Structure 1
């Protein structure tokens, strides 16, 4: 279930605060998010619970993005465009997820099963695109999924570091993905 708008706004602020202040105290995280420590305590109680809330919220949002893109029913290019633009609407969350990612993030014991529907849906989408002749077939669907995730998350991080501009990012990702890096 997607969080109410007020919680969504707070979760975005907290995601950015955690990325910007990875070693920050609970008070520093609260201040960076524009709330009091008492409010943060009421909201989540502990740093570990906050991280788990954000991870769970992230998995809900990622799966909602998949659903909203219409990967099974929309034409491939239209679905890809929607998928990219919807991902970029959640930049703060993507930055947090990238920051929190560890090699064991997909392990069942680490809560990794929450990400399976997202990855499986992307794999199926890219395979469908290959069958329809939109995506190249010399790169497997799982590799296309990994490239998509890497490009989107990587450019969001690069934007945060001031290396790329926000304006036109969706178009850049779409063009790169559809045409590759060939001249």
Structure 2
């Protein structure tokens, strides 16, 4: 990712501030992120520009998650474990994306193309897992992608709201994704 560490830290703080103060003024968002309103104005100008910048950053982060998980290089179960861990390492950005997500987020005019590499990589990974006999084949690779994304993003949001604990979340996601809700 081409984002300097200081910019990365600011984007993370702004993502948390927007989720925590969804109706906050730019001044309140700036204060929550630990910067001045003037700095926030120089950084993005408007709330819409801030949200767009964070969504673009989120797409970069999701593509970094895919890259770092090594979906093509590692055995499927190892890659799945890495994929979950990489997602959770960026939980603040995931919480922001989940909070800002709308049904039209994948439409071209709304910047939907930015999410295609992420979805395509997950589709290919789950298809490879099916071909290798790791994942069930009665659910399509695309459906597995959607289930996985919903599970990860949903639990990150639930953690943010205090409904689930952070500890052991990676294991819960992996276990539930691989085994489902059926009793053993």
TM-score > 0.5, shorter chain as reference: yes
C-alpha distance in 1 between matches for 2:163 and 2:110: 32
Counterpart position of 1:133: 133
Shift of 1:93: 0.5
Counterpart contact for 1:2–1:61, Cα < 8 Å: no
Shift of 1:42: 1.6
Unaligned regions of 5+ residues in structure 2, if any? none
C-alpha distance in 2 between matches for 1:47 and 1:109: 18
Unaligned regions of 5+ residues in structure 1, if any? none
TM-score by length of 1: 0.98
Counterpart position of 1:21: 21
C-alpha distance in 2 between matches for 1:2 and 1:92: 19
Give deviations 1:134-163, integer Å, cap 9, x for gaps. Answer: 000111101100000000000001101111
Shift of 1:47: 1.2
- Runs in 1 of length 4+ with deviation above 3 angstroms? none
Alignment map for 1:3-22 (pairs within 5 Å): 3-22=3-22
C-alpha distance in 2 between matches for 1:171 and 1:140: 23
Matched, 1:173 2:140: no
C-alpha distance in 1 between matches for 2:135 and 2:2: 31
Alignment map for 1:1-183 (pairs within 5 Å): 1-183=1-183
C-alpha distance in 1 between matches for 2:7 and 2:68: 20
Shift of 1:2: 3.3
TM-score by length of 2: 0.97
Give the RMSD, CA atoms, in angstroms.
0.8
Tell me how many residue pairs correspond in the alignment.
183
Give deviations 1:87-137, integer Å, cap 9, x for gaps. Answer: 001111001101111111000111100000100100000000000000001
C-alpha distance in 1 between matches for 2:37 and 2:50: 13
C-alpha distance in 1 between matches for 2:105 and 2:160: 23
C-alpha distance in 2 between matches for 1:56 and 1:160: 22
C-alpha distance in 1 between matches for 2:66 and 2:83: 7
